[in-house]
Amino acid sequence: MRNRNGFTLIELLVVLVITSLTTTLLLSGLSTTWQNFARLSSRNLVFNQAQLPKYWFIESFRGVLLAHPDTSTFAGTPETIDMLTFLAPANRPASPQQLSWEIREDDGHWSLGIRESASNYNALLKFNEAVHFEYLTDRKWATNFTTSNGKLPLAIRVQSSDTTYLLATVSRPLHADIPIELPVYGAYEF
């Protein structure tokens, strides 16, 4: 009987052939998998790019500010919202900025856009039907929001006759803090 200390040449060749076939199949499979991931990633990027204006709209209301309990920094009509926010698009975080959201009509098409301080209007979303802003206060939706006592609406939406396109809620306090000096001295200096 012969003492076997290793593989025979045939066994070694069979192992090498099986290894090379497996490697070839794995590489082609991995190549296809990476191509599919690249396609999914580009589709996801296009989807995220389309969702970005909606995200900006919602985030700007999450960061809306009240400056003083007796004066309002937020006003809204069916076509325009003027506010002070620290989450304005393309702005340094935690830097309050005056911001206006506007709905404009042009030749039967409506657009939602943004105007930061004195800059030009930038259209971000397009609509094929008439849309307007609505404001939730006291459990009712209204098309105008004006106040002189520093309050904010609970929510803001972009609404057509039967469809809600965007809904943003205010996550900051709805009433301005009343400083201790105001009731005592009758005035408050910043």
Name the CA dihedral angle for 147, 63, 123, 78, rounded to a multiple of 10 degrees. Answer: -20
Which residue is it, tokens 């396109």?
Answer: 165
Total domains in the fold of the chain: 1
On the CB side of 117, CA atoms within 13 Å amount to: 5
Do residues 141 and 76 make contact, with C-beta atoms less than 8 angstroms apart?
A: no
Q: Is residue 4 part of a domain?
A: no
Q: What percent of the chain has pLDDT over 90?
A: 33
Q: Is residue 119 part of a domain?
A: yes
Confidence at 79, pLDDT banded by 50, 70, 90: very high
- Mind listing the pLDDT tens digit for each residue in 97-153? 888 999 999 988 999 999 876 778 888 899 999 999 999 988 899 999 987 677 888
Q: What is the pLDDT of residue 143?
A: 93
Q: Is residue 118 part of a domain?
A: yes
Q: What is each CA distance from 21 to 30, 34, 115, in whole angstroms?
A: 14, 20, 62
Q: Is residue 190 part of a domain?
A: yes
With CA atoms as reference, report the closest residue to 79 among 106, 47, 97: 106
Domain carrying residue 145: 11-190
Most confidently predicted of 5-14, 41-50, 77-86, 175-184:
77-86
Residue 44 has pLDDT above 90, yes or no: no
Q: Is residue 5 part of a domain?
A: no
Q: Is residue 26 part of a domain?
A: yes
Q: Is residue 173 part of a domain?
A: yes
User: How far apart are alpha carbons 174 and 190 in whole angstroms?
Assistant: 20
To which H or E segment does residue 105 belong? strand 97-106
80 beta partners: 102
Q: Is residue 18 part of a domain?
A: yes
Q: What is the pLDDT of residue 156?
A: 95
Instruction: State the pTM of this model.
Output: 0.68
